[in-house]
Amino acid sequence: MKTLGDALKDNFTIVNLGCIGDADYRLPDNLVKTLTVVEVDAEGSARTRNPYHRKIQITAPINATAGKHPFIRYTFAGTCSLLRPRPGKVEEFEMQQYFVEVRADETECETLPDLLQRNQVATLDFLKTDVEGLDSAIIRSCEKFLGQTLCLQAELRFDPFYETEPPFYETVSYLAAHGYEVLDILHIDRWKYRTPNWKRQLQGRAVWADFLFFLKPEKIIANFGEAAPLAVAKQIILATMLGKKNCGEFLLQRFDATLPAEWKKELQLLVKPSWPNLTQSRQSLRRIFMPLELFLKHRINRSRHVSIRQGN
């Protein structure tokens, strides 16, 4: 029986679409060194280090279909997309300053399955999408991986903002049909309508949220067969990485008879509750206050990721 680390190398892939400004996930170094990490963002890079087994960085947009598509760059980097907003939506929320079109660059796009094949990446274990309206289409383009991908995080909109973007429930239903359940809603973004007193109103409507999906335990058994123990171990690691230790511990408990004894020892330490160290505390606080940090940097025009462009 291989050690857990040996079993994971070249067989544990995290794909982060829309990685601009993201930081490293929290995992022990010995597990970090087993990861293949794919980071994609046309507007900037993540703030991650390079301790991984393999790291692939792409600066061209991923699309649901291959070929040339106009990538629209707006004054605000966080709104750049292969899609344009639906008519009237920008004005409805007084977002005009963020959606002044700087230029539209004809860009050669590839699909995520093609990108993984080109880089000889065999698995897609965790997919995170934050691609301004294309999350659902890209997830559907990865259908051949669904049922094998253990976890997905996607930015889905309650009120579709971009052209061709579907409402969130269509994607939730689509993934449910492939054996996924909503484990959590990690963040809800609320925007205020442009009304006479909008500046003094405290909150607006829920526009989008980061949904976290996990492949159901019974589907792991059905879909992976003899490879189920490794799939379970990966899902436990992903749960821990995403701050869901209780879910990881539940999986460890449920599949106790399935997992090799040596793997269980390592996974038990992983899901064990612990006080964060100084570095982890600082990282957690920064995640909590990240929206405020981005807002302030934007206001003083000090961040290349979030500042308003001053023209062409």
pLDDT of 50 reads 82
Asked if 228 and 164 count as a contact pair (C-beta separation under 8 A), the reply is no
Tell me the helices (H) and strands (E) count for the chain, helix number first.
11, 9
- Could you read off the pLDDT of 211-235 as tens digits, one per residue? 999 999 999 999 999 999 999 999 9
* Of the candidates 170, 156, 258, 150, the residue with the CA atom closest to the CA atom of residue 213: 150
pLDDT of 256 reads 96
pLDDT of 35 reads 96
DSSP string, 213-235: EEE-HHHHHHHHGGGHHHHHHHH
Pairing, β 151-157 against β 180-191: unpaired
pLDDT of 113 reads 97
Residues of the chain with pLDDT under 70: 277, 279-280, 283-284, 286-288, 290-312
pLDDT of 309 reads 42
Contacts 24+ apart (CB under 8 A), 189-198: 191/93, 191/95, 192/93, 192/94, 193/92, 193/93, 194/91, 194/92, 194/93, 194/94, 198/94
pLDDT of 52 reads 94
pLDDT of 179 reads 98
Domains of the chain, earliest start first: 12-232 (3.40.50), 277-312 (no CATH)
pLDDT of 306 reads 43
Asked if 79 and 99 count as a contact pair (C-beta separation under 8 A), the reply is yes
pLDDT of 97 reads 86
Asked if 34 and 9 count as a contact pair (C-beta separation under 8 A), the reply is yes
pLDDT of 224 reads 97
pLDDT of 55 reads 95
Q: What is the model's pTM?
A: 0.89
| Spatial CB neighbours of 281, under 8 Å, sequence gap ≥ 6 | none
